Amino acid sequence: MQRPTGVTILAILAAIGGVLGLLGGLALVGFGGLAGGLVGAAIGGFVVISGLIILVLAVLELVLAYGFWTLQPWAWQLGVILSAVNILIQILGVLRIVFYSDLSSALLSIIISGVIIYYLNQAEIRRVFNAPEKGFPGFPNGLPGLK
Q: At what angle do helices 73-94 and 103-120 cross, to 10 degrees?
A: 160
- Asked if the model's pLDDT at residue 72 lies above 90, the reply is yes
Specify the pTM: 0.84
Predicted confidence (pLDDT) per residue in 99-133, tens digit: 666 788 889 999 999 999 999 999 999 999 998 88
Dist. CA 11–CA 119, nearest whole Å: 13
Strand (E) or helix (H) holding 87: helix 73-94
| Top-confidence range, 36-40, 95-99, 128-132 | 128-132
